[in-house]
Chain A
């Protein structure tokens, strides 16, 4: 398989291209995704290649984009809608929670809703309150949804392809801070990364750091710079989360730090923490600590104070290491 150096935007674009070439049921729809190629250029060039019937520049209506995609999926297509910023998804939440997530259940399995809803999320591009949110918990709390978030170009493409090949709706959260943050060798053809499996990014004995999405590179930088002997788990999929990978690591280290960018209260870290204590409190030598965004909106000028950084991650790691 030939590969190419790609950033995350290019990898996603390549994944969409592969999917569309292989399957005419794949339809893209969203705001400015056609002629403009998407505000982040993820769908660049696909209109020219696949035509306006398969790459739809829609009116500005999130509830309509999602609702229309659901109708397409129910009638046998495989839509991949884009919501321009995750912050704008909330008018479509009724469609996501009450339609998309419940089609299979409420129809006794007669109807299905296989689709991938892509949307960029997270801070780091100076977007302020309305272009920076991390709302993964809203989706994780709804039965019927699969929630995926990649942390590298390679993962982004492989997870997107898996998500699109599944039989259920997937919320695909793209960490926009990483869109152009780094390049990687990425296969040009189709390949899959399994949904529901975490990746052990680095192996160590002293502490388990559990993270996902845009925080993965920040955690890895911290670990490398400070020579931490840590297991670093990139969850990749939040729902269904990979409990086996988590428990295996916790059993080994007995010390856990969870890092995510979303606010702490009701955040996904709380779920992981509860899961670990329910299953293995006896393995723990220290309280589980969370390093998260604060329970505030995301500021524009002072963004760097919001997003978890090396200092805060290191503090938490030291604390759990110091516990008896």
Chain B
């Protein structure tokens, strides 16, 4: 009986893990594509996500379809795993007429209401109080869903981090805080950001704080699943300190050689994708052939979609001035007349 259950769980686990790996690979492939396109002048700007794939996919694996994500500007792996079409991301990066926000936001600021991904702002951590409000709305409506909010280690120094954490704890909200602790806030190392381990901050708010190996998608999934289950069961919020590494620069405008030596090289033992591959092989869920097939498919998908999206024309200039209010004000109408 027990063996039977184990076998069944293995049967459902295998495709789940393969899908997770495929999302990581797709994200990594897209990441590199965008960075190289940026260097060629085909893209204006980008914040790479390389190194944070496992942690994000691990969280995403633990979410249900109707759960909400109040993320930040480095959450491409999570979006792809959740099923956000790759075009949504590329079109946003391009700021073309097919972009949800009509090219209004600089690259890396995504929106996908269909997949419950809140639109991303630049100011760090200001999504956290919003996430508390969203979680309150779910609780008020007695929905069995949760909110996950993501942020970097730099965010833990902000007033909004404190506000969001405290409110979530006081109102016992179905909210999981995921600190994507990649070790760097642009040039400042996490040791200089805060002298305590980030997971310990949770105790100041009376909520559990857990450390997770964010480089291992299975470990991350297990930690996220426990926290999300608690939130869903009405036990309140958890802070997850997801230890990972920002393998790329902060953005395409940043030169990390000024402040650090790269210590996680792509393809090395510490690379979350390499760790993932080893896990899948050790579990007997995949072999080299399958992994290679996934990698090749990702390259093909990214190249095709990227090229197709690049052909989409820029937005109509009028759209730059719409959606400020539901209806355009007379002031803006007048100003637009002067501009266009």
Contacts and interface: CB of A to CB of B under 8 A. Distances in A.
A79 interface: yes
Contacts of B100: 107-108, 110
A64 to B, nearest CB: 3
A68 B109 contact: no
Interface in B108-136: 109, 111, 113, 118-119, 121-123, 126, 128-136
Contacts of A202: none
B339 interface: no
A94 B126 contact: yes
Interface residues on B, range: 35 or more
A115 B331 CA distance: 22
B14 interface: no
Contacts of A107: 100-101, 111, 113, 118-119
Interface in A50-103: 53, 56, 58-59, 61, 63-64, 66-77, 79, 91, 94-95, 98-99, 102-103
Contact of B325 (A53, A79, A106, A168): A168
A168 B324 CA distance: 9
Given A72-B134, A75-B68, A75-B134, A59 B123 contact: no
B90 to A, nearest CB: 16
A71 B326 contact: no
A27 interface: yes
Given A27-B140, A110-B113, A105 B133 contact: no
Contacts of A111: 111, 113, 118-119
A75 B133 contact: yes
B253 interface: no
Interface string A199-242: 00000000000000000000000000000000000000001100
A245 to B, nearest CB: 12
B237 to A, nearest CB: 13
B129 A67 contact: yes
Contacts of A48: none
B130 A64 contact: no
Contacts of A56: 171
Given A63-B160, A104-B324, A105-B323, A99 B101 contact: no
Given A63-B163, A67-B128, A104-B326, A110 B137 contact: no
A64 B126 contact: no
B259 interface: no
A243 interface: yes
For A69, A71, A112, A144, the residue with the greatest tally of chain B CB atoms inside 10 Å of its CB is A71
Nearest to B129: A67
A73 B163 CA distance: 18
A243 B331 CA distance: 9
A67 B111 contact: no
Contact of A70 (B104, B123, B130): B130
Contact of A63 (B68, B99, B159, B331): B159
Interface in B287-340: 322-326, 329-332
A146 interface: yes
Contacts of B137: 71-72, 75-77
26 contacts: A59-B170, A64-B129, A64-B164, A67-B132, A67-B163, A68-B136, A68-B167, A69-B133, A70-B130, A70-B133, A71-B129, A71-B130, A71-B133, A71-B135, A72-B137, A74-B118, A95-B160, A98-B123, A99-B121, A103-B119, A104-B325, A108-B323, A110-B100, A110-B119, A112-B326, A168-B326
Given A59-B167, A110-B119, A144-B325, 13 more contacts: A27-B136, A58-B170, A59-B166, A61-B167, A63-B163, A67-B129, A68-B132, A71-B129, A71-B132, A72-B133, A94-B160, A95-B129, A95-B160
